[in-house]
Amino acid sequence: MTRRARLWLFAPAVAGFGALLVWAVAGLPDFGSTEHRYGYLINHVALPERHMTNAVTALVFDYRGFDTLGEEFILFAAVTGIVLLLRQHERERGRGQSDSTHSDVIRVLGILAVGVGVLIGLWLVAFGFVTPGGGFQGGVAVASGVVLVYLAADYRAWSRVGRLGVLEPLEGIGAGGYVVLGLAALVSGAAFLTNMLGPGVAGTVWSGGSAALVNWFAALEVAAANLLLFREFLEEYIVPLHGRGS
């Protein structure tokens, strides 16, 4: 199919999608104008029932944990699809070294920023049931911190950190661990994803019970998925450019 034919097929599709998007957004209530009773209820029951001071994370990983399982597998499937599209069977690894950072100041500060970024991400995950944060936000923060390795050093340093043999199993463990916790509850005779460890201690990292484990598995999957995406896009678009320029 020619490029012009593809554009003729694409134009009506994107026009229809745009019209639906405008229609959907135009029908939304003004920001802050609606206070739903569901939010009011969660705000009042999350602390006494679940010992979680962050009602949003309590909703995501406890009251509606099954919905979050679906969201996690949407991310898993999307990343898998992108990786299959971008990955080539024969790809040269580590081509070109013109992407290295020559400034010692940038390298030192960048490597320090890696530690700070990963630490902040882990804090967001650990205290997700106490303060704003959680597995999704913390997982993105951890991935962003690791990505700084490439920006502060070079591709060779990044390739040692973002290895497929590490990232792919971690993504699978993150997605599969969520399901295993739900199945463990079923085996014990309770409902899927029932909190089996009790509510924990409010205001501490021990709040949430087994929901805290769900939170950590989600963080692991989100971090690994984002790093896999970065790796594939980096090797598809950036590394070949440096290889041609070297």
Q: pLDDT for 137-160, tens place per residue?
A: 999 999 999 999 988 888 888 888
Q: Which two tokens stand for residue 165?
A: 């043999």
pLDDT above 70 for 100: no
Using CB atoms within 10 Å of the CB of residue 177, give its burial: 0 to 12 exposed, 13 to 18 middle, 19+ buried: middle
Place of tokens 């497929």: 164
Average pLDDT over residues 221-226: 96
Q: Which two tokens stand for residue 144?
A: 């962003």
3-class state of residue 115 by DSSP:
helix
**Portion of the chain with pLDDT greater than 70, in percent:** 91
CB 159 within 8 A of CB 219: no
Using CB atoms within 10 Å of the CB of residue 111, give its burial: 0 to 12 exposed, 13 to 18 middle, 19+ buried: middle
pLDDT above 70 for 33: yes
- The whole-angstrom separation of Cα 195 and Cα 72 is 19
Residue 112, phi then psi, degrees to nearest 5: -65, -40
Neighbours of 184 (CB within 10 A): 16
At 88 the pLDDT is 62
- The whole-angstrom separation of Cα 38 and Cα 33 is 15
Average pLDDT over residues 8-31: 90
Average pLDDT over residues 184-203: 90
CA distances from 58 to 39, 194, 211, 237 (A): 12, 13, 8, 40
pLDDT above 70 for 224: yes
pLDDT above 80 for 44: yes
pLDDT above 70 for 94: no
- The whole-angstrom separation of Cα 37 and Cα 85 is 44
CB 199 within 8 A of CB 50: yes
Q: What is the pTM of this model?
A: 0.81
Name the CA dihedral angle for 96, 102, 106, 109, rounded to a multiple of 10 degrees.
Answer: 80
At 245 the pLDDT is 42
Neighbours of 12 (CB within 10 A): 9
- The whole-angstrom separation of Cα 103 and Cα 152 is 9
At 108 the pLDDT is 85
Q: Give the list of residues 6+ apart from residue 30 with CB closer than 8 angstroms, or none.
A: none
pLDDT above 80 for 17: yes
